[in-house]
Structure 1
Amino acid sequence: MQNAIVQRSPRRLSSLYRTKRRIVRGLQIFALLLVLVYTLFPYYWAFVSSTKQGAALYRSALLPALDFTYYRQLIDNPIFMGSLVNSAYVAVSTTFLSLVIGVSAAYALGRIDFPQRRAMLMIVLMISIFPQVVVLSGLFELINWMGLFNRPSALILTYLLSTVPFTTWILTTFIREFPRELEEAAIIDGCSHFRILTRILLPLMGPSLASTGILAFILAWNEFLFALTFTLTDENRTVPVAIGLIAGTSRFEYPFGQIMAASVTVTLPLIAVVLVFQRRIVAGLTAGAVKG
């Protein structure tokens, strides 16, 4: 009798273990579905709202009407399409300059030993957490003094104040992970620091540059306060400001459908960029996570 109980207990334990695994896996899938619904529902609701007009917004709110009138109006609107071009130009330029400056500064902070290196890292971190309102008045005077007011170059210059510090901080952590033997061998062969950075380290930093560049691009693409302050005419405004200034046909009409259509249109380039570089983004975010 005891032998039978002993023989059955492993089977029972195995059955209980499989049941427990199924319950845990089911809970994980349920939690994943909740996260997906929570993150994707606002975008779906914006798309549904952008396909309805008038009182249809308040009927069957979760079902799209497939009326793309607002999207056709946006395409036919030269001001909005011009703002898309302005945002693309400013965001791409800001991302490129922030990566160039950030890589150079990150190499100096991550590889070159000097007494003030730790203090410089702390200063970079402090600058990256400054609220925009704190520096707004000073930047306004600076941009006005430089004669860049109401120009895309003013936005690029002000956006660098936000993108360069966090780009430098993130890239410094990546550069520190590279083995110093690479540099030592290059120095023996007579390479300068600039040649080491551009010919040896930079080709290895593709994933980290992609992930950092995406973050800088999104920050520059979505920025509103500086774009509203330093641009006055419709020809020089970026997309966030253009969406904020969309008005209805009368003073009593709130153009909810137009704003939702513009929001969906503006989000599509970001989704496309992330999908194209998703592998490099994941590789860059996980680089250095496991040391062997």
Structure 2
Amino acid sequence: MPDNDSDNPTPFQLTSDDSLVDDDSSLDDFEIDLSDVEPDGLPHGRSMAPLDEPDPKRRPRIPDLLPILAIRDTVVFPGTIVPLTVGREKSKLLVADIVKGSKVIGVVAQQRGEVEDPTLDDLYRVGTVVTVLKKLELGDGSQSIIVHGLTRFGIEELTQTDPYLIARAHPREDTFIETTELEALIETAKRLARRVIELTPGVPEEALTIMDNIAKPGSLADFLAANLSLEIVHKQEMLETFDVPERFRKINKALATQLEILELSNKIHSQVKSQIDKTQ
């Protein structure tokens, strides 16, 4: 099965039709294009738009026993809104029960996307607790759910495998102390991200506004990590990095690499264009 990241050549994937949803907004009119999708994963080319973190008093309670949706070739980060396609029978049964009861589940990436019936050994041990905002029926018989990432969690064990996975889970929170070093890491990330956005075709201007309006360090790090075009193993590594300064170090390294590639690509393009112009 194709890797979603490998199908997206642009380093920063925020697209102009992504929208922000307030906690109090109605989702009845929330629409998203699901014409190009992979079963149990992200639609190709979709990015993840941030949501303001909900008031802890209003946040759904995270149960000790958490229904698990295994997804392929993508990682969901806290604070993002993501459409996920559901194609496997176990996943459909899970979604059916979600609609009837609690809207809170755990989303965990598979270590190997080709595994059709994943067990504990096939899953990463850290995922994201999400609340399901909406369910959509797709024309090919599959379904899609739109989820809002709440917080990281760790899997202790699976307590059920049929009709779908249920895990004993515990929350994993960000850790950081506000220091001048963290402030410098954040400013570096913003500077690199601005330059990457400027050099990446098709990224809307609102991306910069969104980035600048995210106040919490961990939320900003997750927004950047979610929208970088990285292999799943590297995104999962960032999800599993609970120390926020360390997460920013990894993000800054990835941003610097992608910026270098973009600048080199632009330089080559300019040289080729100049040579073509001279021959005409």
Q: Scaled by the length of structure 1, what TM-score is found?
A: 0.20
Of Structure 1 and Structure 2, which has the larger fraction of its residues in strand?
2
Q: Scaled by the length of structure 2, what TM-score is found?
A: 0.21
Of Structure 1 and Structure 2, which has the larger fraction of its residues in helix?
1
Query: Bigger radius of gyration, 1 or 2?
Result: 1
Give the number of the structure with larger relative contact order, counting CA–CA contacts within 8 Å between residues 6 or more apart. Answer: 1
